[in-house]
Structure 1
Amino acid sequence: MMNDVIIACDFSNKQKLYTFLELLKEERPFIKIGMEMFYSEGPNIIKELKTKGYKIFLDLKLHDIPNTVYKAMKRIALLDVDITNVHAAGGIKMMEAAKRAIDELKAKTKLIAVTQLTSIDNITLKDELLISHTIEETVKHYALNSKKAKLDGVVCSPLEAPIINELGLISVTPGIRFSNNANDDQARVTTPKKAKALGSTFIVVGRSITQANNPLEAYLKAKKEFCS
């Protein structure tokens, strides 16, 4: 897959989503649909967007027992999304079950695993999650498990993209801000240009585009910095 910018369309309903997409005029960006939108509008919003020509990263982060994830992924695979994900913390058997669901339907969907959320730092990892290893060590271990499960890649911060590249996996990296933006609730962030230098396959950009005064200009700026 070619490097690309994915816009995190974290809106509460379809009307707000389409109002935003109209601001991008003729552009048909790769967009991320997350839990809020999917739980609000259901599978039909995915079908509509695919009909309109959008590539979609369906970001539901499945994390449950293998059989439940297998059955859920069977439904997701029918939506023909371009990328979807599970939590690597669910373990290898769970990830294998998700991958098997996609393979059985011969879907073209890329399956990736969330390693550690970009809101997590080393202090949170140690004090709250009782993980004594560093972020980098944990991400690499989870990525290795994802590779064993034959997934296509992982979600990680751009700071860990070099580790993922060494494993031959796709890296989908949120936590992207322009140099003049605030970090908000992200702990491990970089600019699009820095993410490119670090080797991210995809960057996920949310508020820096969706809340910009000129979203089209912000999107094209991210594309220029990351893709050119």
Structure 2
Amino acid sequence: MAGQLIVGLDVSTRARAEEIVVALGDSVDFYKIGYQCFYGADGFALGKELLRAGKKVFFDLKLLDIDNTVEKGVAAIAATGATMLTIHAYPRTMRAAMRGAAGSGLCVLGVTVLTSMDDNDVREAGYERDAAGLVALRAQQAREAGIGGVVASPHEAEMVRTIMGPKPAIVTPGIRRAGSAMGDQKRAMTPAEALAAGATHLVVARPIVEAPDPGAAARAILAEMAGKRTSFA
């Protein structure tokens, strides 16, 4: 289960990120570095340091640009030895990303619909589909592009698995322990529910990094992933 849990280092300083890594110790071996950490905490250097320490790194950068820029950017990330990288799941962007990742071990993930968005948000953005319909379209396009997987809400994980088949990764943010506050997540699930729905990896940030004891919080989530009940709050 430890390899399926990705802890999001959503913090603004390198020192705080390193404190969390130390607190989690051997219980976590996979870390996500997104905008906040990448730009505010020298996250690129931190990611390379984690890789040298034998950890897995997921650069959550959601790349979207002209094809050449995406291809070269993906190639630069692939050269670090990172495990995962996000791009926006537009067909041309996904094809360009695959060219950039060619010959590497980098798993390129297409972001379908953010877990903070619901049907109204999707329509406001100009799509004549609901959130699930847009996720289905992006998943089909991701399969056609041959990328490594997608990022989707756990609520769409089962549908995505049906569309993409058994091999691609399905990475699900919006994970919250049973009974906890949802915050700005509109399509969240518990760890056990997300895995049962077909997710291969769970991304958890605030419930761990903002906990008084991040190590205890991570162990509680790992226990829930394994189907065990815990009293951690």
Interval containing the TM-score (normalised by the shorter chain): over 0.9
Match of 2:108 in 1: 111
Q: CA deviation at 1:3?
A: 6.1
Per the alignment, residue 79 of structure 2 pairs with 78
TM-score by length of 2: 0.90
Which residue of the partner structure matches residue 43 of structure 1?
A: 44
Distance 2:221 2:29 in 1: 12
Partners of 1:96 and 1:227 in 2: how far apart? 36
Q: Residue 196 of structure 1: CA displacement?
A: 1.6
Paired residues of 1:4 and 1:227 also in contact (CA < 8 A): no
The unaligned stretches of length 5 or more in structure 1 are none
Name stretches of at least 5 consecutive residues in structure 2 with no aligned partner.
228-233
Whether 1:6 and 2:2 are equivalent positions in the alignment is: no
Aligned positions, number: 223
Contact 1:83 1:112 in 2 (8 A): yes
Name 2:212's counterpart in structure 1: 213
Residues 30 and 56 in structure 2, CA contact (< 8 A), matched pair in contact too: yes
Matched residues in 1 for 2:21 and 2:44: separation? 18
- Given the superposition, is the C-alpha separation of residues 131 and 22 from structure 1 closer, same or farther in structure 2, using an over 3 Å criterion? same
RMSD: 1.7
- CA distance, structure 2, for counterparts of residue 25 and residue 97 of structure 1: 36
The answer for the alignment partner of 2:99 in structure 1 is 100
Q: State the 1:13 CA deviation.
A: 2.0
Q: Secondary structure at the match of 1:79?
A: coil
- Quick one: which of 130, 133, 142 aligns to 1:134? 130
Indicate the residue corresponding to 1:19 in structure 2.
19
Provide the C-alpha distance between the structure 2 equivalents of 1:50 and 1:218, rounded to a whole number of angstroms.
23
- Give 1:42 shift: 5.1
- Superposition misfits of 4+ residues, deviation over 6 angstroms: none
TM-score by length of 1: 0.92
Q: Secondary structure at the match of 1:94?
A: helix
